[in-house]
Amino acid sequence: MADKTPTPHIGAKFGEIADKVIMAGDPLRAKLMAERFLENPVQYNNVRGMLGFTGTYKGKRVSVQGHGMGIPSIGIYSYELYNFYGVKSIIRTGSAGAYDPELKLGDIVLGMGSCTDSNYGAQYGLPGTFCPIADFDLLRRAAEKADSMGIDYKVGNLLASDVFYGDSADGWKAWQKMGVLAVEMEATALYMNAARSGNKALCICTISDSLVHGTACTAEERQNSFTNMMEIAFSVI
């Protein structure tokens, strides 16, 4: 693996990234997490502005890496981390739009599974439909941490969508009727890359808007708050 680094998208040398990585779509959120949670963070990446840092959290060596928006982007970054940098566990922290009417702004969703409208899985040539799921140990410990913090959360299916501005205003309701809790844009690729490489993954989302209630957080709130999911991620990675 060392002879394949740096990669086209990550400027680190082999060994500069920990085997445990917390990811965020927004590189500025990755920077915020590194500054808030890591001791002695060292920046290892600024390629395409996709910031990455390595430091320690309560004695554990942990890296924080931005992954951009959408399945193609996280597909690239998580693939390189798993296959070229020896990463064993990735937790994505991100925002999601609620489909479940019980979810409020700021609530947490732990993505046990990831539905998708993407064709990302076609590359594997499977004779059926693959169900991308989280690592159970990470999921279990994340739920236990959320319980200990006394915060509101749900565990279930996410939708990883290729579409942010959909042509059908009510298309999301088809997923809602199947019990999908919320929509984001990355978990499927992360879970598939983890499965294919024999590693672990979990997606933890904070509800930033609700398609049911028509409410939404500001861009600044998305970038600088959502600290509950960050604390959960650092506690279980």
- Report pLDDT digits (tens) over 119-175: 999 999 999 999 999 999 999 999 999 999 999 999 999 999 999 999 998 999 999
Contact 90, 194 (CB under 8 A): yes
First to last CA, the chain: 22
Q: Which residue has the tokens 């890359």?
A: 193
> How many domains does the chain divide into?
1
Structural domain boundaries enclosing 112 = 2-236
Count CA atoms closer than 13 A to 52's CA, side-chain side. 27
pLDDT category of residue 221 using cuts at 50, 70 and 90: confident
Question: Which pLDDT does position 34 carry in this prediction?
Answer: 97
Confidence of residue 223 (pLDDT cuts 50, 70, 90): low
Helices in the chain by DSSP H: which ranges?
27-37, 71-84, 136-149, 172-176, 187-197, 219-224, 227-236
Mean pLDDT of the chain: 96
Q: Say whether 127 sits in a helix, a strand or coil.
A: coil
CATH number at residue 166: 3.40.50.1580
Say which residues have a Cβ less than 8 Å from residue 67's Cβ, sequence separation at least 6: 23, 24, 25, 50, 73, 74, 77, 78, 92, 186
Q: Are 224 and 30 in contact (CB under 8 A)?
A: no
- The pLDDT of residue 72 is 98
pLDDT value of residue 14: 97
- The predicted-structure confidence for 170-193, as pLDDT tens digits, reads as follows 999 999 999 999 999 999 999 999
CA angle 22, 33, 8 (to 5 degrees): 55
Active site residues: 209
Question: Which of these, 88, 85, 107, lies nearest to 96 by C-alpha position?
Answer: 107
| DSSP letter assigned to residue 146 | H
